[in-house]
Structure 1
Amino acid sequence: MSRRRSRLTPLARILRRSDNVAEARLWLALRDRQQGGLKFRRQFPIGPYIADFACPERRLVVELDGGQHIGNPRDVVRDRYLNEHGWSVARFGAGDVLSDKGVVLDTILAICEGRISEPVESYEFRFYPTRLEMTEAPPHTAPLPLQEQEGRDVLFMRRAIDLARAQLGRTWPNPPVGCVLVRDGVVIAEAATGDGGRPHAEEAALAAAGAGARGATAYVTLEPCGERSNGTASCSQRLIEAGVAQVIYACADPSPFAAHKGVRRMQAAGLHPDAGLLADAAGFLIAGFVHWLKTGQPLVVARADHIDAPFTPSSDDLTTELKAWGARGYRLLGVAPDSELAQRLRAQGLLSE
């Protein structure tokens, strides 16, 4: 049976002939089964990517990174794709191959032999083991129709919700938002609202995707904004200018400053966003913000994690205290569940259970 020829094969051939000293030196030590009898391939196409080196027998990808790759968000997306398709990823600095090739080879062999199996995150070496177990889990009793668009939309929106959830308590006064950009069924970029509320999730994801965002679908947990208080381009305008083909968002923007302006702008540009996908599941992300809009007070919850700050009033007038905290930008505060303060808040109807 002939192996299916990847559309990236011609590019891979060009890359193999390119003048990269570090790659050439490592290849001289990996080729012809010199490391543990394992066969490595150079410039090996995997889905939409080309791996620097790959060992199909061990499902291992080896990447050599220059300085421009350190912390590159596109590499994060690439590594996640490889992980989710059954490949572990080891990243080394190209300079380390030139200065101490033996250590790099020893590390590669240790991975292949199973002596390194846990994730490693350092400046010199990063290792991301495959998450193949995620795709091999027993089927759900009522599985999503993964081959249908609705099922894929749900999965990508859930990913956006997870991204935003990880930023809870870090983005106030703005709510955390997640954005996932997908083209041809593959995640090309993703981001959440930055610490302190900037940058917005769509802004960061579009920056990571670059020209690749054209023709993509954007899954966003909150309606893209139509105006920015700092006067910069709104997320709706950025999505239009990037050439995104479709926008799907979960929750409508509750802010009177920005609500629906972005939707009207996108509609006028011929981009008709779809609203409400997993709105109930994403609602908790903006609960504190919605409560503040209605009352002028942060939402207070009986927990200590994923909050803007613990509520520590300095007076007995809890309502006045909460309004003061809200004026300082806090949207979600926490208290110990069994504390005397929790009991007082509960008695005054100021505690969300």
Structure 2
Amino acid sequence: MAAPSPETAKQTHLHYLSQALDLARLSPPKPTNFRVGCLIVSYPASTSTEASQAHKSQGQGQVLSTGYTLELEGNTHAEQCALSKLAAQHGTDEAHLHGLDVLSANQNVTLYTTLEPCGLRLSGNKPCVERIIDTRKSGGGIGKVIFGAREPGTFVKDSKSLMRLYEVGVPWEFVPDLQDEILKVAKEGHNKPVSREAQGQKAGIDDISPEERRRQEQLPRNPKKRMMEVDVPP
């Protein structure tokens, strides 16, 4: 059996991007976030290469996890939620996803997301592109990233996430057919007045999940900064 044609493969990608778009619609509209949906899908290798290709071309991959913006506690992104939920399903944390059999190389795992994964977070939270890369520490992990729209420059100008994926050898593909609807959904809520609290979040204040806060608290601190924080007696 021949490998699927580019058009057939594209239909498979649109199948999962459409599901990701439905997930994005579950995210609450806010002026400080993009509403994004994500699926992590595996296409387990078959004993027959032809059979494996046919399996993939028919959109019959196995959905391992899903996520959408703000699904979990904190100012969480869609990819972050999907990866955290996948880790929880297997009784581990996100830092140890790379050791799971479900993400081994022969599972051919693809991450579908409506919007290009973020390459920078103003809060100091780990960007989604780095979370994706971290799954590959043991040779498997996320094998490809497919997205339906580039990240607008609303919060971060000129995202470098795709260059970062290229640098570490993670293939990516932009499938633009649903782009207009994806951006419409992503930006819903951006025309609402921004409260003082939301302005703080937009500037990176309180934009940290409990998990990320614990990670940052464990980082070594600047001794000079520590000296500046010491109470000075009157």
AA aligned to 1:173 is T
Which secondary structure does the structure 2 equivalent of 1:227 belong to? coil
Structure 1 residue corresponding to 2:181, chosen from 252, 273, 281: 281
Q: Which structure has greater strand proportion?
A: 1
Structure 2 residue corresponding to 1:265, chosen from 160, 164, 167: 164
Q: CA deviation at 1:233?
A: 1.5
CA contact (8 A) 2:21 2:36 kept: yes
Structure 1 residue corresponding to 2:112, chosen from 219, 235, 239: 219
Matched, 1:234 2:102: no
Q: Residues 192, 257 of structure 1: CA spacing in aligned structure 2 closer, same or farther, 3 A cutoff?
A: same
1:203 alignment counterpart: 80
Equivalent pairs, count: 152
Which secondary structure does the structure 2 equivalent of 1:285 belong to? helix
Q: Residues 192, 258 of structure 1: CA spacing in aligned structure 2 closer, same or farther, 3 A cutoff?
A: farther
AA aligned to 2:119 is G
CA distance in 2, matches of 1:197, 1:163: 18
Q: CA deviation at 1:271?
A: 1.2
Q: CA deviation at 1:180?
A: 0.4
Which secondary structure does the structure 1 equivalent of 2:148 belong to? strand
Q: CA deviation at 1:178?
A: 0.3
Matched, 1:252 2:150: yes
Q: Residues 260, 272 of structure 1: CA spacing in aligned structure 2 closer, same or farther, 3 A cutoff?
A: farther
Q: CA deviation at 1:258?
A: 5.3
Structure 2 residue corresponding to 1:174, chosen from 26, 33, 47: 33
CA contact (8 A) 1:249 1:274 kept: yes
Q: Which protein, 1 or 2, shows the higher relative CO under an 8 Å CA cutoff with sep ≥ 6?
A: 2
Q: Residues 183, 258 of structure 1: CA spacing in aligned structure 2 closer, same or farther, 3 A cutoff?
A: farther
Q: Deviations over 1:90-112 (max 9, x none)?
A: xxxxxxxxxxxxxxxxxxxxxxx
Gaps of at least 5 residues in structure 2 are 44-60, 88-99, 136-140, 200-234
Equivalent positions of 1:314-325 (< 5 A) are 325=193
Structure 2 residue corresponding to 1:161, chosen from 21, 28, 31: 21
AA aligned to 2:12 is R
Query: Which of the pair has more CA radius of gyration?
Result: 1
Q: Residues 197, 150 of structure 1: CA spacing in aligned structure 2 closer, same or farther, 3 A cutoff?
A: farther
What percentage of aligned pairs have identical amino acids?
A: 28
AA aligned to 1:221 is T
Which secondary structure does the structure 2 equivalent of 1:223 belong to? coil
Root mean square deviation, CA, Å? 2.6
Equivalent positions of 1:1-353 (< 5 A) are 148-169=8-29, 171-184=30-43, 185-194=61-70, 198-210=75-87, 211=100, 212-214=102-104, 215-242=108-135, 243-255=141-153, 257=156, 259-277=158-176, 278-288=178-188, 298=191, 325-326=193-194, 328=196, 329=198
Gaps of at least 5 residues in structure 1 are 1-144, 293-297, 300-324, 331-353
Which secondary structure does the structure 1 equivalent of 2:142 belong to? coil
